[in-house]
Structure 1
Amino acid sequence: MRKLRHWLFGLGGLLWLHHVQAQNTFPLNGVADPRTGYYAFTHATLVKDAGTTLNNATLVIRDGRIVSVGANLPVPSGAVEVNCQGKFIYPSFVDAYSDYGTPAVQRAPGFNFGAPAQLNTATKGAYGWNQALKAEQNAFAVFTADETKAKSLREAGFGAVLTHVKDGISRGTGALVTLGGDKENFALLKEKASAHYSFSKGSSTQSYPSSMMGMIALLRQTYLDARWYKQNPVTEGKNLTLQAWNENQGLPQVFEANDKWNVLRADRIGDEAGVQYIIKGGGNEYQRIGEMKATNATFILPLSFPQAQDVEDPADARMVSVSDMKHWELAPTNPAAFERAGIPFCLTTADLKDAREFMSNLKKAMAYGLSETAALNALTKTPATVLGVYNEVGSLDAGKWANFFISSGPVFNDKTVIYQNWIQGKKYVVKDENWADPAGSYQVVFNTANGPVNYTLNVKSGTSAALVGGKDTVTSKFYYDGRSVRINVAPERSTENLYRLSGTVGGQGWTGYGEDSLGNRFTWTATAANPATAKADSARRKAPGALGKVTYPFEPFGYEEGAQPKAETILVRNATVWTNEADGVLQNTDVLLRDGKIAAVGKNLTAAGARIIDGTGKHLTPGVIDEHSHIAAASINEGGQSVTSEVRIADNLNPDDINIYRQLSGGVTTSHILHGSANTIGGQTQLIKLRWGANDEGLKFKGADGFIKFALGENVKRTSSTQNNRFPDTRMGVEQVLTDAFTRAKDYEKAWKEYEANKSKKGAVAPRRDLELDALVEILNSKRFITCHSYVQSEINAALKVADKLGFKFNTLTHILEGYKVADKMKQHGAAASTFSDWWNYKMEVIDAIPYNATIMQRVGLNVAINSDDAEMARRLNQEAAKSVKYGGMSEEDALKMVTLNPAKMLHIDKQVGSIKTGKDADVVLWSNHPLSIYAQSLYTIVDGTVFYDRGKDEQMRKSLAAERQRLVRKMVGEKRGGAAVTPALPSYQLMHTCSDHSHSHGLLTVDAEEVE
């Protein structure tokens, strides 16, 4: 066995015996060194994986690979022995989400509504039609080792990363690389290790997609296009993007979601395509952990936690939302929430400004409940397993790459230091100091001429020790540098019996020569008596103290787990009931709600166990239905093209929108969430019930007919833009867009019918599935219905003629402020009208608006509704309806129907809602006063028999909310005064979507002071 002194392996002077391939293609400028890296790391506490720890273990590596691992293994002949007495060896971490070594991506500027549209891709070559699809992009082709970044990652314990180019909605393939400083040829472990996707266009300047729902539609369509491309269609030619897309489907599929709701959006894309994504989260997934588990995905979780904000100034503090403060407090609980829920996850340095923050943030997450075992798995086995490379990295097993680090103790302990990180068998220094702390107890043997003499040496530090022999304890002069040791002692306190010892640090301990005061020489050995051992979950950190609760939704007025409202049996007694049926308004009447339905309407009703609500002096009406709303959506307009019927509001609902709760306070129970008016044929709409606290699927009005948004006029032809290059540019062009779209839809439908009739014949090829045309075919077959943004009588006439010619119908004309001019033609066509009460003069198209419009259209025989198109107006739609009583002399019952039964009929849901009738959904509102009065307040808003708004409870919640705000402010102030870094107070903004034509987003940016009413 070859022995070398430990000084060869000190951090300051390691003689590196670099492993080299016996043969390679690179020329050598210098003298060849054929020696191989052959090492035995002995006497270590070796953490083989999260479930296996070996004491006094040996790790043998050769040529960059692990040869053997075990306890008390002999050191192989020819191996260089590295004594790791008292040290820990761990598998180096694996980061499953990185852009290490790839070029920086220049993000495209935001969409400018007034600027010219880039309608076509700027990518040159035989690639796909959309610049944001980069399936052909390969990280390995552009990977360059970056020693600066690699060093910071190694210092955090990482040895390998999955890297990709973070550019595009489809990002191509990722590569598994190590963090060594060798040539890229050696660092590259797997060229194509994964395929990547996101909801970010990255550097693409192409106009489409310009919204969340557009990105989702693009992904859905591309999955379909790629399958179609496998048929080798002549009409497509060579499409390298679709070719690469198909080739990449066999790889692990990684989706960057970055938000809890985006997680669900991505998962549904995967479900539709038959793909299970590995999902990169954003840190707020703990807010919907049940939904996260239901995805069956493995997650990649960042440890980028928000800083406390500087809220000492009350003027600043009042603009910081409770939601933001709660997230600051609870964000570190995210990994622990995944562990408790049994959801597999990896941890990543992604989203950190500096990888050196990783370990401190990880320890913070552990203080908030994450166990050491789960943390280690999330950094080793889990990422290696989901990427299909556990046979290469992720644990210390024979045959795997020699990626490991050596630390002073359990890696997650606060005082632990990582000394070295070995990558593919090459050592990288992390902490340049004596890695071997000699503190401890040693059994010392002097091999004198008179026989062995035994002592115990207690070392306190590198300069102080005590030698114990018999009954005596003598303080010794002690010198230790990790490579050699010197001790001067007088064991029997006899000045004539002084001993001087010198030795070296070896594999089994210390060995050397000694001399007594008479000049007698002898050999001596010292063996550690109490080597360090690992302890499971040994790092005990300061607990974070009392934490706030997760609420559903994660907003003010949300409900804690278990406190969510549930359907009840409710008996409203002695109310004035506005039935909207032939019975009209009933005085002193009872209404029984049971199992989410209206069970009975009458007098003196009884129901065992029912919750009794006294309606005396109060008014009970059907819930308000808003036919035209833009709340509860992450995006509203997909304005990148003139026809975007493939996009769906359903794909980007936002259940956390505080406007859901606010509108419940105004009696709204159902809202029709529309696409905006940026294009002639917009996106598919979504009807929701305002079930505050539900997730996005829970909001949807099940079984309702599908609708779609069309638009006419200024918004479509972009009157506000002087640089519009997107067709149409005139109202005449709008007609042609409609004509062209439905002509194509008819041809598409015909092609599919022909295929279905002949698909059994040889050579039959299915047409390309087109989601845009699918929706238009649904309209032609009366399976999807149009609600159309409209103002001017001339274009309304033109649109009706196009529809009549091509065989489709406008179900509803919304806004329709010149409806009084064309009411007869609308009636003939069969269109309904959803209008404003008295909005006027906000642009040229509405200059002829009059407050008598609704009444005139109603008298002609149209079904007329009053809508909001505005989050604030929706809270008082009952008052908006009442204006027609004032302006047009409409009856009170007819006025109320304009925000209840009439929109229900427009939306084809009048069999479920819109009136108080036995068997209908229990969607009702109890008002404090006449429902058309400006003094009327909603006391209870009930949806499906569940009280989602209770004015009395609301007052209690406001008090609790005020207390919670003050608690969080005090905690943030304490963070600052405790010396922690804080950020300036940041107001929380919310985009209030409307059908304004002044911005692409159709919204107003407002400060979100949702907890201050």
Structure 2
Amino acid sequence: MKKILTIAVCLALGAGNVMAQETFPRNGVYDERSGLVAFTNATIHTDYKTTLPNATLVIRNGKVEAVGANVKVPAGAVVVDAKGKHIYPGLVDMFTSYGLPEVKSERRGYGSPPQPDTEKEGAFNWNQAIRPETNAVELFKVNEKQAEELRKLGFGTVLAVHRDGIARGTAALVTLADKRENEVVVLEKAAGTLSFDRGSSKQDYPNSLMGAVALLRQTYLDAQWNAQNPEKEQNLSLNAFTTANKYPQIFEVDNKLNMMRADKVGDEFGKQYIIKGAGDEYQMLPQVKATNAPVILSLNFPDAYNVEDPFDARRVSLEDLKHWEMAAANPAMLQKAGITIAFTASDLKDKKDFLPNLRKAIEYGLPAEEALKALTATPAKLLQAENKVGSLNKGYLANFIITSADLFDKENVILENWVQGNQYKVSEVPSDYRGVYTLKMANQPERKLLIAGTPEKPELKVVAQDTVKGNISFNGKMVTLSFNKDKKSKESIRLSGWLNEENLQGEGQLPDATSVKWTAVFSEAMSQKAKSDSTKTAEPVELGNMIYPFQAFGAAELPKQETVLIKNATVWTNEKEGIMQHADVLLKNGKIAKVGKNLSESGARVIDGTGKHVTPGIIDEHSHIALDGVNEGTQSVTAEVRMADVVDPEDINIYRQLAGGVTTSQLLHGSANPIGGQSAVVKLRWGKSADEMLIKDARFIKFALGENVKHSNRSNLHSIRFPQSRMGVEQVYVDAFTRAKEYEQAWKNYNKLSKREKGKTAAPRRDLELDALVEILNDERFITCHSYVQSEINMMIKVADQMGFRVNTFTHILEGYKVADKMQEHGAGAGTFSDWWAYKMEVKDAIPYNAGIMNNVGVLTAINSDDAEMARRLNQEAAKSVKYAGVSEEDALKMVTLNPAKLMHLDDRMGSLKEGKDADVVLWNDHPLSIYAKPLKTFVDGVAYYDLERDEQMRVDLEKERMRLVQKMLNEKSGGAKTQAPVTRKARVVHCEDVEFSEEEAYLAH
């Protein structure tokens, strides 16, 4: 009867598609049956919050006609009795590549030169990573293999996203029906899609994350300008970008920091993105919530690491250990915080893990109702398709699944998936033979059979005088059993038989070869006990503490700003008071409140400074720590890129440098091009977000001279980028600032127009690159120039004088001692190394007296690091100028405190211990220029972000936490869980000359 019913339903539906195919001629007879089916006596979940027991669902012509408890079955309908079954709306996955061609991130082959320009023909954008003219619906092809895989998970509708490029065009909402492409498209343009990944583009720019951000920002501006001035340029890509912006915007990111970066771009241009996340959002929960972005969550939870070998265990970072434990709690944590979530199966290597991982997310605290909402109503609403899918309401698509039990029950089986009224069989529910039986065999004592486990994997216990485990297997109505006579015996009784109504019977063989007939009479359903157990409230999963940042030396609670009084110390003021003996420093409300003797303050935490030294925090004027990339080295001028866009607040070097007394760093672009990117100046506020670290009114930019910018040390493949000589470098500057002046004048002329005249005149195109150069001309942004050789330093000063700007700082400046008088006359400062030399040809004339000579001439001189390791001991680097150049101890300390503050125009708030300045203060155990000195406490804004005593305790706690997690993983493995091999997470330390090499460049470099 069951087989007959299935055939009947299929026949009733067979011609249900004809009505949608009227525009297609058919070679044959038209079959116009309506596909009218009524499902009765089911538990119907019409939406995520509404459940109707013993209800009826009627579908016709691929849509829902009626649903409810008292629905009358229409005449002529095929009736399906769904008693004991559940019906849910078909699930919606709003981020897939279903039906679309595979995207390969192609790069240039070995021996191929760089590609500076687009190779795409036609009136399209200049950059191939900007491809908004791509409409997924035009590339889409029904793929039955992919559709079947997704239907087995319960999905009926998916968003097809072509994951290629930064601006990716529009995505199409389609069903998983096996029909023509034009019949399964629900919304041909359901969303605009973006990322920071240039995809298949072989074009050089952008080769960095900050370049991708800048390119996207410029694209928004260009699209706005193009829409306002269509007569200026016909750009199909920009036209398409404007069109795509009308739809919901989905931005794919690969980590939580990129989520913050994407949101900033969206905020700048008034776009609220839907973020396709990476599963680590819980690690920055307050910041994620502040974006107001709905998040599409992957359920790609990591397997435990195989940590049986203690040496292998050491290879796994604390971050990875904790993420393994907490990843499954990500959905619950976001939902509890009030963040809108949806789910996708797109990142799973094995799609079969989707439902088990979803149930795991529920075990970790996600309410089942919210899980269903995230798979139905939420994606439908976000894609503006809530009147078509996501619920079972009249007029909606007949997309639904039929399950054997509650969708999230571990024993549930998805039986059928109906898409647009078409039936797709997913699986048969296994017959449930679990229960208690009385076993009778000739001349044998009665035994009890306890069949437990799951319907798919039943387990057998046989109870007589004692209890033994046995083996049992079912094949339809056929059954085989085997078990030992008793616990002491190794002789097996083997039985074979069949199901006779509720009972089992058959024939078998005893250990002595005697043949017997047997019966097993059913008495009690084991599954009833299992069901009662399943209703018990699951114990909450125990998780470790969240820490900020989410890695080693992160803390569950960040240190707080305090009122602190340091008493009786040697105080290096860097002010007219000089070095004060037996003096006090009061820190209050994040500022230096007082410096003097015999100070007191009610409620202050008093620190005994006897025998200790207090200095201003060290300031590193040239650093590359805490950055996701350092060079956008593809073009000669990349003034549009911003290091602030790629600050990584979780770089361990932040904490390490706090341990060396550093409180502020200027994070510079590298030296791959004459005009690089805009700097980021940060306070080392360990545990805070990138935005919270930034000093936003510090405005600098990196220039560079010498070997790097003309590609002296790169392969001959790079001989096509101008400049290739030091003469060419000079011309780059002249050309860039000539364009900047013309650009500035164009805006001045436009801004002088009346409102009426502006209405008739096209505004100049906004150019982010030239905006930065104009700021330099107007003393609103300041240059830090990578430099070595005196001839080029002279050239740079002459170009600056010619074009009307000033070089604020020459950095490296290892031949500064040769041109110190000219630098002083120009008004340039110096940021140099203490004694680096001979690491390449253009520094062969470096001397350790350089800083002292420039300082004596009157050049404002700082010692900087350009190196994550060196920055931990800048106090010692400053001390070298005392030894080699006879600089006074006070002046030497100023080279890493007050002088860099002056170079960065921040000396009104840092660099010295003066009332009213920021409480960026270091307490040392010894003379701060001594090799034996180490910070006991490093305060930033009055917060002790580093404390030596706390650090020692954190190391103990860190090992305890590692051991707890390792033991938990060992228990997981012993319980049969999958494991993965340990992976060493190598932290990349970037330097001035580092470039994001392509594969062939890395090969040639070696």
Q: Provide the TM-score with structure 1 as the length reference.
A: 0.87
Equivalence map 1:492-531=2 (5 Å) = none
Partner of 2:746: 751
Where 1:908 maps in the other structure, the secondary structure is coil
Alpha-carbon distance in 2 for matches of 1:12, 1:932: 90
Is contact 1:9-1:15 (8 Å) kept?
Answer: no
Assess, with a 3 A threshold, how the Cα gap between structure 1 residues 585 and 121 changes in structure 2: closer, same or farther.
same
| Partner AA of 2:238 in structure 1 | L
Length, aligned pairs only: 909
Assess, with a 3 A threshold, how the Cα gap between structure 1 residues 370 and 536 changes in structure 2: closer, same or farther.
farther
| Partner AA of 1:45 in structure 2 | T
Partner of 1:422: 418
Tell me whether 1:391 sits opposite 2:387 in the alignment: yes
Tell me whether 1:362 sits opposite 2:391 in the alignment: no
Partner of 1:94: 92
Q: CA deviation at 1:979?
A: 2.1
Partner of 1:635: 629
Is contact 2:404-2:429 (8 Å) kept?
Answer: no
Of 605, 613, 619, 1:619 maps to 613
Q: Deviations over 1:381-439 (max 9, x none)?
A: 0000010000000001000000000000100000000000000000000004579x799
Assess, with a 3 A threshold, how the Cα gap between structure 1 residues 880 and 541 changes in structure 2: closer, same or farther.
farther
Q: CA deviation at 1:746?
A: 0.1
Tell me whether 1:601 sits opposite 2:601 in the alignment: no
| Partner AA of 1:41 in structure 2 | F
Alpha-carbon distance in 2 for matches of 1:308, 1:29: 57
Equivalence map 1:788-803=2 (5 Å) = 788-803=785-800
Where 2:585 maps in the other structure, the secondary structure is strand
| Partner AA of 2:661 in structure 1 | G
Partner of 2:496: none
Q: CA deviation at 1:20?
A: 2.3
Alpha-carbon distance in 1 for matches of 2:351, 2:141: 19
Alpha-carbon distance in 1 for matches of 2:433, 2:43: 16
Assess, with a 3 A threshold, how the Cα gap between structure 1 residues 934 and 537 changes in structure 2: closer, same or farther.
farther
Assess, with a 3 A threshold, how the Cα gap between structure 1 residues 810 and 891 changes in structure 2: closer, same or farther.
same
Q: CA deviation at 1:481?
A: 9.7
Equivalence map 1:646-665=2 (5 Å) = 646-665=640-659
Is contact 1:12-1:432 (8 Å) kept?
Answer: no
Of 42, 53, 62, 2:60 maps to 62
Is contact 1:132-1:201 (8 Å) kept?
Answer: yes
Where 2:717 maps in the other structure, the secondary structure is coil
Of 844, 848, 856, 1:847 maps to 844
Tell me whether 1:691 sits opposite 2:688 in the alignment: no
Q: CA deviation at 1:106?
A: 1.1
Where 1:197 maps in the other structure, the secondary structure is strand
Partner of 2:320: 324
Partner of 2:830: 833
Equivalence map 1:13-92=2 (5 Å) = 15=11, 17-18=13-14, 19-22=16-19, 24-29=22-27, 32-92=30-90
Where 1:161 maps in the other structure, the secondary structure is strand
Is contact 1:682-1:709 (8 Å) kept?
Answer: yes
Where 1:72 maps in the other structure, the secondary structure is coil
Where 1:626 maps in the other structure, the secondary structure is strand
Is contact 1:368-1:543 (8 Å) kept?
Answer: no
Q: CA deviation at 1:15?
A: 4.5
Of 544, 552, 559, 2:555 maps to 559
| Partner AA of 1:737 in structure 2 | V
Equivalence map 1:901-916=2 (5 Å) = 901-916=898-913
Tell me whether 1:246 sits opposite 2:242 in the alignment: yes
Q: CA deviation at 1:839?
A: 1.0
Q: CA deviation at 1:989?
A: 1.0
Assess, with a 3 A threshold, how the Cα gap between structure 1 residues 261 and 917 changes in structure 2: closer, same or farther.
same
- List runs of 5+ in structure 1 lacking aligned partners: 441-459, 463-479, 483-500, 503-530, 1006-1013
> Which piece of structure 1 moves more, 303-312 or 125-134?
303-312
Alpha-carbon distance in 2 for matches of 1:647, 1:999: 15
Q: CA deviation at 1:815?
A: 0.4
Partner of 2:810: 813
Alpha-carbon distance in 2 for matches of 1:390, 1:893: 70
Q: Provide the TM-score with structure 2 as the length reference.
A: 0.87
Alpha-carbon distance in 2 for matches of 1:461, 1:310: 31
| Partner AA of 2:76 in structure 1 | G
Alpha-carbon distance in 1 for matches of 2:839, 2:236: 49
Partner of 1:467: none
Q: Deviations over 1:116-159 (max 9, x none)?
A: 32110111111010100010000000101111111111111100
Partner of 1:1008: none
Alpha-carbon distance in 1 for matches of 2:230, 2:637: 25
Q: Deviations over 1:646-698 (max 9, x none)?
A: 11011111111111110000000000010111111000001100111110111
Equivalence map 1:262-301=2 (5 Å) = 262-301=258-297
Is contact 1:922-1:945 (8 Å) kept?
Answer: yes
Assess, with a 3 A threshold, how the Cα gap between structure 1 residues 481 and 692 changes in structure 2: closer, same or farther.
closer
Q: Deviations over 1:465-490 (max 9, x none)?
A: xxxxxxxxxxxxxxx999xxxxxxxx
Q: CA deviation at 1:976?
A: 2.3
Alpha-carbon distance in 2 for matches of 1:824, 1:234: 53
Q: CA deviation at 1:806?
A: 0.2
Assess, with a 3 A threshold, how the Cα gap between structure 1 residues 974 and 481 changes in structure 2: closer, same or farther.
closer
| Partner AA of 1:741 in structure 2 | A
Alpha-carbon distance in 2 for matches of 1:373, 1:868: 55
Where 1:957 maps in the other structure, the secondary structure is helix
Partner of 2:773: 776
Alpha-carbon distance in 1 for matches of 2:8, 2:206: 55
| Partner AA of 1:716 in structure 2 | V
| Partner AA of 1:937 in structure 2 | K
Partner of 2:732: 737
Is contact 2:632-2:995 (8 Å) kept?
Answer: no
| Partner AA of 2:699 in structure 1 | G
| Partner AA of 2:658 in structure 1 | L
Overall identity of the aligned pairs, in %? 57
Assess, with a 3 A threshold, how the Cα gap between structure 1 residues 219 and 327 changes in structure 2: closer, same or farther.
same
Q: CA deviation at 1:546?
A: 2.5
Assess, with a 3 A threshold, how the Cα gap between structure 1 residues 934 and 558 changes in structure 2: closer, same or farther.
same
Assess, with a 3 A threshold, how the Cα gap between structure 1 residues 999 and 78 changes in structure 2: closer, same or farther.
closer
Partner of 1:374: 370
Q: CA deviation at 1:613?
A: 0.6
Alpha-carbon distance in 1 for matches of 2:160, 2:341: 18
Partner of 1:131: 128
Tell me whether 1:225 sits opposite 2:212 in the alignment: no
Is contact 1:720-1:998 (8 Å) kept?
Answer: no
| Partner AA of 1:327 in structure 2 | H
Equivalence map 1:713-728=2 (5 Å) = 713-721=706-714, 722-724=716-718, 725-728=720-723
Partner of 2:470: none
Partner of 1:708: 701
| Partner AA of 2:372 in structure 1 | L
Alpha-carbon distance in 1 for matches of 2:826, 2:535: 74
Q: CA deviation at 1:7?
A: 4.4
Tell me whether 1:584 sits opposite 2:582 in the alignment: no
Is contact 2:12-2:37 (8 Å) kept?
Answer: no
| Partner AA of 2:698 in structure 1 | D
| Partner AA of 1:350 in structure 2 | S
Q: CA deviation at 1:720?
A: 1.2
| Partner AA of 1:711 in structure 2 | A
Where 2:240 maps in the other structure, the secondary structure is helix
Is contact 2:631-2:994 (8 Å) kept?
Answer: no
Where 2:358 maps in the other structure, the secondary structure is helix
Q: CA deviation at 1:968?
A: 1.4
Equivalence map 1:946-985=2 (5 Å) = 946-985=943-982
Q: CA deviation at 1:188?
A: 1.1
Where 2:595 maps in the other structure, the secondary structure is strand
Q: CA deviation at 1:10?
A: 4.2
Q: Deviations over 1:898-919 (max 9, x none)?
A: 0000000000000100000111
Of 101, 105, 108, 2:106 maps to 108
Where 2:417 maps in the other structure, the secondary structure is strand
Assess, with a 3 A threshold, how the Cα gap between structure 1 residues 537 and 911 changes in structure 2: closer, same or farther.
farther
Of 335, 340, 343, 2:336 maps to 340
Of 551, 569, 573, 1:575 maps to 569
Tell me whether 1:930 sits opposite 2:892 in the alignment: no
Alpha-carbon distance in 1 for matches of 2:351, 2:135: 24
Where 1:351 maps in the other structure, the secondary structure is coil
Alpha-carbon distance in 1 for matches of 2:100, 2:327: 29
